[in-house]
Structure 1
């Protein structure tokens, strides 16, 4: 039976909550767990112990003082326990989350936080540990002892945790901004140079960084290491080229940067579930071949959406609809991360693909234009000239001449 909150005349009045809407409990983990997911919002405060938790296939080290904020779309499990983990958990409905946070802030203020919230796990400093431990311990005591479950003090405890998480997430976001910007540039660099023999150390030298920093930054943005991102770029380009019957597998393997066809076949199948030869027999519109998505960051979800659909008639409006957002918001996200507008990023992908087709196929210019998403060959020629400095025909002639001389 649901009972009303006993605070008439306040902003809590009118909400109907039951005991299951806000549960506070103490738990311990001594061994690995099975995968879990709940239709609630959860906060984990690690009182003691250490280990490794996997959230949506990405692993995070947790230790004394770690705080996790998990939603219903998070699938998680403790995959390693180094020392028995003791936690206090808030398990609450979205109603309670809104009650504790939105009553003193606007909806826009609260939701804007998620622009900065790119990780479900944060570590606290020593001074914050005692502050958070006091809050979680107090909430546990309130939950266990009070008959009136939804006392304002319990909701106030939750609000303080949310404020701490938001403040800390923003701090980490701003602190790692240089690494994030460098990682964005490295991803773009991979798309320009994936055909070359790239190594992590060489790229680190080029960007005046270290291999560890580059891997950490890319892992943060995409959920993948440098090598994994490079493989993804190469395989995605190979997928696009396999649409053309005149290109054989050996040629495509060499073109996208593999010096060994068996190595190409092995990585291709590991990533797509098919061999390159099998893909040639499958319709190019098969959705199974377009399932690669960046895991953690909306900017790169958008980037991957563009990379998968640039040969279609996509626009800022179609992308906004796909991501349940506004065109202005999508454009701003892309601009912040890639220093170019959404339309410019679409054009960038189309021009790279057009160049690949000019180099690797005997198709007519009109066919290449259509394959790159252009309805008008005149528009294609004009855009190609602006991007590469020559018309498609002249550009190919120069490349062929250079190849003969070389």
Structure 2
């Protein structure tokens, strides 16, 4: 009886201190299922060939679903506790929702000890996969530094110098020149932006505070959010956006034809432009930093526009967890694996030692030989650090609706944000 009590006591202590019962991988034969979305599946299948040379007894089946279907599958599987992958790719848009539910292993615990790698990742990306400093539920694998993709041919034709767009006021002034009627039929057919939401995104996502304050309280009426919505409305009222949504046929056509000339996005957009959206626009695009929010600011705004993580569900066999961690370590901390993913899927390396590769010093043909990777590397180091909140996805939906109401003229800024604040507060219980 005493032995049982001692065992239970030790188990309770282990649970209370967060110790894991998982033992390190010890050469067992294990078949794993890694769930992801395209084109990461192509990159991972290629680079895992090298992994198998070191771990011949681990085999990984990489299954890919479309971006939305993949994450919906994870939501369902985590809720049900079955049908789970052994390794889950989680994109930043879902990391808070999926991670905060507690369904993933804490990779800071034994036998993972992910903390040993923290210094090799950008602070903001590490924080995004964390629930505080002692709980890393998702290991960073790729990042998406935010920048501006602009049409140099249009800028040159309209005699606009990107270097003179220093702050948001300068961008607004440039909008007048870059929004125009090219064919002379009396109708505007070229715009500065695809959507005014880009202005909101730049201001909002470059802030260290998002939907909640430092105490976890809803903060949708915060000055920064009000400023972001107000500026977006100003660009909309001036007619500087084409009112088209991302990932629509209209958006693809506008990027291809150059009827929108200024697109704040992630470093990954270049791969889409080059490969299928606008391959014939080679040499016409360039990248630049975001503008400053105001002239008094010392530096331009910095934001993240995507990026992925790898996570291990709790409700899978322990041996799969241990083997899965070896796969995650390889994909996240092997320089060649990171570079293959960058080459095949435009997945900018999250692992900073990979940035020392000579490719980062090379020009990119599609954007006229510009050495954009150096800029992206610099931006990544300056993106503000923000920890996720389990209600982020709910807050994002509510705030997006408020922004739409303002842009469509249904509500003024103060009313829309006050209503959004009340709605979010009602969902905090």
State if a TM-score over 0.5 links the two structures: no
TM-score (norm 1): 0.24
Larger Rg: 1
Q: Which has the higher contact order (CA 8 A, sep 6+)?
A: 2
TM-score (norm 2): 0.23
Structure (1/2) with the larger helix percentage: 1
